[in-house]
Chains A and B, each alone.
Chain A
Amino acid sequence: DTAVSQTPKYLVTQMGNDKSIKCEQNLGHDTMYWYKQDSKKFLKIMFSYNNKELIINETVPNRFSPKSPDKAHLNLHINSLELGDSAVYFCASSQGDSRSNYGYTFGSGTRLTVV
């Protein structure tokens, strides 16, 4: 059983299109995250949700909109895709906040290529 699953694994699309990436975790965790890993391999936090509520929103263009229908799902919708959005996007989950300091569980990533 996959703990954190992302779909699709690969996504190739044209500039200007709108696309979504889905993430589901079956660990019962309270908090979910989206990270972006660019071509230089830097991993950057984009969003953090705790029990369906947005708690962290880093400097990310408004074209990116996370949606959490329930605490097991955190989807990422991207409008008007640009070439610079090409990257690998990772979803992650954790139990509690850092006071409990549990580890994160990451998905296997979605490689987005904008052409």
Chain B
Amino acid sequence: DAKTTQPNSMESNEEEPVHLPCNHSTISGTDYIHWYRQLPSQGPEYVIHGLTSNVNNRMASLAIAEDRKSSTLILHRATLRDAAVYYCILRPPGNTPLVFGKGTRLSVIA
């Protein structure tokens, strides 16, 4: 499986934007970039995914580098409820299930 590298932890002030980076230098041309998050005592939750173009949804934005070797998940205004572990995952074609790494633990300070 192609691997991703994320910082172990990040901290943000409430109501400020948060940029969560992910490096995936060995990504293949057909790998989708998925982001999930896991709030305390809950199951993982889908956030966003993309292939080449930047993506926006109600939860976040995904900025993908032109060479696709890195991506950034953007939370436009962090709230206390966004404190979670954020996982950046590459998903190849076929029936390969999601493989979770260690993720980035995001703390939000009031």
Q: Which residues of A are in contact with B by a Cβ distance under 8 Å?
A: 4, 31, 33, 35, 41-45, 48, 50, 55-56, 90, 92, 97-99, 101, 103-109
Contacts and interface: CB of A to CB of B under 8 A. Distances in A.
Given A41-B85, A42-B102, A103-B34, A97 B43 contact: no
B109 to A, nearest CB: 22
A4 B45 CA distance: 12
Contact of A98 (B43, B46, B96): B96
B29 interface: no
Given A42-B100, A103-B49, A98 B95 contact: yes
Interface string B65-101: 0000000000000000000010000011111111110
B102 A104 contact: no
Interface majority SS (helix, strand, loop, mixed), chain B: loop
14 contacts: A31-B95, A33-B97, A90-B43, A92-B44, A98-B32, A98-B93, A98-B94, A101-B91, A103-B46, A105-B46, A106-B44, A107-B43, A108-B43, A109-B43
Interface of B: 32, 34, 36, 38, 41-46, 49, 51, 85, 91-100, 102
A50 B97 CA distance: 11
A104 B102 CA distance: 18
Q: Which of A55, A90, A106 has the most CB of B within 10 A?
A: A106
